Copies of this chain bind each other. A is one copy, B any other.
Amino acid sequence: MTTRTTFLGLGAMGSALAVAALDAGRPTVGWNRTPHRAQVLGERGATVADTVEDAVAGDGVIVACLYDHESVHQVLDPVVARLSGRTLINLTTTTPNQARELAAWAAEHGIDYLDGAIMAVPAMIGGPGSALFYSGSTSVFDEHRALLDLWGESSYFGTDAGLASLQDLAMLAGMYAMFAGFLHGAAMVDSVGVPATEFASRQAPFLAAMTGSFAHVAAIIDAKDYAGEGQQSLEFTQAALDSILQASIDQGVSVEVLRPVRDLVRRQIAAGFGKQGSDRIFEELRNTR
């Protein structure tokens, strides 16, 4: 018989996770702080639990998808005595250190803990392009792989429970910076009346093509080979960024997004590396250790 799965937290994402389990024919229990979302799930065949205590009674794996780190404690601390020996898969969005804190709390109470981060929006769950990152208990990842794979492509990063969140946030860091840069460029051409849609039609294929050089950049970083041949120098990059900043100012566009990038380059030049490759700003970003 398939293991019963209890879902704590039925917001848009929690509901999507629970529906995927239901659709796969799994015995499913749902609880939510406000009962409406649980009733909707109940109509699709889930057992609705009125309290967290009811929800975690009995056996089976517990999946948490709550508002934040603090709400995980608020929901689970009162029933922690019932969780000893159980399995908890926590898909609540947390920082790496918050995931590590929850893993330590779980270990203290005899709970087998797997932390997860979801690289998808609710509508993507169970469909193409959905990816989930996991870290923490290896045995939970291995034993419940069939459940995890219902939601998207599953990747496991190691026993440090913070790793899934860290990998997720690192991916999002790149994404938010890219979108900010795209909006900066769109603001520049907006100053002469060019629609953002027209700019997007050029910017999207250009940036997509440029991601093709990430592997080369990464190889330079891993080898610390910033003095090698054929790299765009920090001095060249500073001149290009200075032109972008000056043009932005001239056109009435804020330079908040790109000035810090120019300043990273400038500091590396001041440190004597002007002729070396621009990817050396990686060292500046890691320099707060």
Contact = CB atoms under 8 A, between A and B. Distances in A.
A218 B194 CA distance: 11
Greatest chain B CB density within 10 A among A187, A212, A284 is at A187
The 3 closest A-B pairs by CB, nearest first: A177-B181, A196-B218, A170-B185
Contacts of A35: none
A189 interface: yes
A53 interface: no
B247 A96 contact: yes
Interface residues of A, number: 94
Contacts of A187: 282, 285-286
Task: Report how many copies the assembly holds.
Answer: 2
Given A188-B170, A263-B256, A218 B246 contact: no
A249 to B, nearest CB: 8
Interface string A242-268: 011011101111101111110110000
Interface string A148-178: 0000000000001011011101111111111
